[in-house]
């Protein structure tokens, strides 16, 4: 069995962090039953899901595509003046 550390946060959420993978996992990458060997209490921290999402001061410098789906806005493909 793989050894895990259970980390509990002040927000009430908890996470399992692998501390040692067993031979079965190293060979097959198939998860086995977790074996909790350590407990960590983080009373001064909240988990990643509950942390406030602050945008960095340099966010405006990132050039993002206008079309979030990607691809060509012109439709692509064969033009109408091609082979008729």
Q: Do residues 74 and 39 lie in contact, with contact meaning Cβ atoms separated by under 8 Å?
A: no
Per-residue pLDDT of 18-57, as tens digits, reads 999 999 999 999 988 889 999 999 999 999 889 888 888 8
Q: Do residues 24 and 32 lie in contact, with contact meaning Cβ atoms separated by under 8 Å?
A: yes
The structural domain count of the chain equals 1
Does a structural domain hold residue 50? no
**E strands, the chain, in order:** 3-9, 14-20, 35-42
Does a structural domain hold residue 54? no
Does a structural domain hold residue 4? yes
Does a structural domain hold residue 5? yes
Q: Is pLDDT above 60 for 79?
A: no
Does a structural domain hold residue 60? no
Does a structural domain hold residue 82? no
pLDDT grade, residue 69 (50/70/90)? low
Does a structural domain hold residue 83? no
Q: What is the pLDDT of residue 64?
A: 83
- pTM value is 0.55
Q: Which domain, by its residues, includes 33?
A: 1-41
């Amino acid at each position: 069995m793989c050894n895990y550390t259970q980390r509990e946060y002040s927000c009430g959420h908890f996470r399992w962090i692998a501390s040692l993978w067993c031979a079965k996992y190293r060979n097959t990458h198939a998860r086995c039953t977790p074996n909790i060997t350590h407990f960590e209490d983080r009373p001064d921290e909240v988990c990643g899901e509950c942390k406030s999402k602050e945008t960095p001061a340099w966010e405006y410098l990132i050039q993002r595509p206008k079309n979030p789906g990607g691809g060509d806005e012109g439709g692509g493909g064969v033009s109408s003046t091609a082979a008729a």
